[in-house]
Amino acid sequence: MPRTATSDSLTKLLDHCSRPVYLVDDQRRIIYCNPALADWTALDRGRISGRVVEYHSEARHHADTSRDSSAPLVDLCPPPSAFFGETSRGTISCVAQDGGLKHRLADFIPLDVAPNQRTKGRRASDGTAGAVLVLLAGSDLSPQELAAQLTGDPSADELHRTIRRFRRAQAAAYAGDSLLGNSTAMQKVRAQVAAAAASGANSLVCGPPGSGRGHVARAIHYQACSDGLAKLVPLNCRLVNDDLLRRALDALRSPGGEPRHRPTLLLQELEYLPRPFQTQLLTALCQDELPARIVATLSNRHMARAVMGRPAIQEASIGTPTANDSSDDNSDEGKSARQVGPAALDPALIDVISTIAIYVPRLVERMEDLPILAQCFLEACNRGSPRQIGSIRREALDRLALYSWPGELAELRQVIAAAHRECASHEIETADLPAVIHHASQAASRATRHPERIVLDELLAKIEKEAIVRALAQAGGNKTEAAELLGMTRPRLYRRLVQLGFDNERTAEELDGPEFIERDSEEPPQ
């Protein structure tokens, strides 16, 4: 009698408790929760009780709100140490209605462990140990309190939760709706990403540098996580070496949960992967049956066309630097990649990887998306800045639309950041935009004018002067390096500086000291 009465009374007491309380048994199943917990998590009590909780940090898809009554709950799991009889304190998180996370301090109180069995780090032999009572605080942690928690010396549990918060944020950042734009091209990209994520197939993401290929590739991974847990292993093919590749492959081979939780190997800029590593990777994929999904990005648009079944491009044309590729292909690495290039990529590797080929369009091919993208970047600049700017004036957007955007979204982001710095009002105006945008606009505005006369020598001198100034800036003021960059001898550079009307004294002082004049005077004029 007393036992039942006490049990009922205790249940009633806990039911009326304003602080969320729940009890997890040694099988990590929630066997009791009070209404306050149901309110806090916005889940029915019936859907919480009986659910298994798991302790891990892997990201789940943002849309997975754990309403599925058969899915394990992650956020409510006490730390493993609590199941071994250690009282501890940490934080518990759940998804708020706005999609963000809310956090509360929690006490994890182990139950049913006899004192003589409470051996640290060891489970009681009769199996009775392990039930844990979790008592949450009465209110959520404020961002300041949460930050204070993080800046202290967090326990292992806090570290684990930090990683979980990061992965949740990543999953949210790379959700399907993060691929902004209503253009037809972007709608197609979103559909392909969804298909790649759902199918688990290997994917090749092609497009110009800066177009957001990396974002698309990660979106595939994070969207694929909606039904399980998966690890993302990025590999920068420009910087890869034996050690990095071996460690990446090892990370993919290591047991990371159930087979359905396939990890993702993200190969960034696949065209730079040296041939021996291609072979090594192919062997791992085919012979060792690497249990991973491969998502690769390619910077060469021609390769994308070849992969997508369009006529293959000649190697020579692939090697021709375009406006988009110029920044990458001027390097020796770029040259070697050109020699290896798309044509030298192992066809077998491409076959394995390109199950789904996704083409990320150039920004100029989706100018209707420019306003929303610019606004998105503007709001990103507002974050953490004392300067809060609300919008971009229509005239400024029109001016942006005239530009050719060789640097794609990355360039747009930086242009907006520069305008954000310059802007003095609540709205970005045309005058706030960087000079490069105005140059493009001037060029465009002259397109329909009647032919004008120019003095070619003056024009060429102006261009040469600008080239020299830029080369000197590039070389950090070192004239020898600048001369090399310009493909001329150092004495000739000196002479041109004088001939083009640079202020000798200033130039000497700023660039290299007094030797400028002296050395130049030693050289006979040509």
Partner 1 sequence: MNRCEWIVCERGSTWAAALRVAAARQPPAAWRGPRLYEVRSLAELSERFDVCPQGYGLVEVHRANLGPVLTWLVDTVRRFPRGCFAALLDASITGKRGPNRHSSDDRQEAVNSLLEAGAVDVADSPRHLQPILALGQRHCDRVAICPGIAVPSPSFAEWAQSLVPWQDS
| Residue 450, CA distances (Å) to 116, 296, 359, 453, 466 in order | 98, 48, 39, 10, 26
- With beta carbons less than 8 A apart as the criterion, state whether 61 and 175 touch: yes
Helix (H, G, I), strand (E, B) or coil at 213: helix
Q: Pick between residue 21 and residue 224 the one whose CB is nearest to partner 1.
A: 224
Q: Pick between residue 180 and residue 312 the one whose CB is nearest to partner 1.
A: 180
Q: Pick between residue 22 and residue 405 the one whose CB is nearest to partner 1.
A: 405
What is the smallest separation between the CB atom of 438 and partner 1, expressed in angstroms?
9
445 burial level (CB within 10 Å; 0-12, 13-18, 19+)? exposed
| Residue 437, CA distances (Å) to 211, 245, 269, 381 in order | 19, 41, 28, 19
Angle between helices 490-499 and 479-486 (to 10 degrees): 90
What is the smallest separation between the CB atom of 367 and partner 1, expressed in angstroms?
16
Distance of alpha carbon 421 from alpha carbon 413, whole angstroms: 12
Q: Pick between residue 389 and residue 437 the one whose CB is nearest to partner 1.
A: 437
- With beta carbons less than 8 A apart as the criterion, state whether 206 and 359 touch: yes
Q: Pick between residue 5 and residue 447 the one whose CB is nearest to partner 1.
A: 447
What is the smallest separation between the CB atom of 470 and partner 1, expressed in angstroms?
7
Among residues 380, 448, 457, which one has the least CA distance to residue 420?
380
Q: Pick between residue 263 and residue 361 the one whose CB is nearest to partner 1.
A: 263
What is the smallest separation between the CB atom of 434 and partner 1, expressed in angstroms?
7
What is the smallest separation between the CB atom of 150 and partner 1, expressed in angstroms?
5
Taking the CB of residue 278, how many other CB atoms lie within 10 A of it?
20
What is the smallest separation between the CB atom of 296 and partner 1, expressed in angstroms?
17
Q: Pick between residue 163 and residue 401 the one whose CB is nearest to partner 1.
A: 163
Distance of alpha carbon 262 from alpha carbon 281, whole angstroms: 17
What is the smallest separation between the CB atom of 91 and partner 1, expressed in angstroms?
12
Distance of alpha carbon 201 from alpha carbon 220, whole angstroms: 10
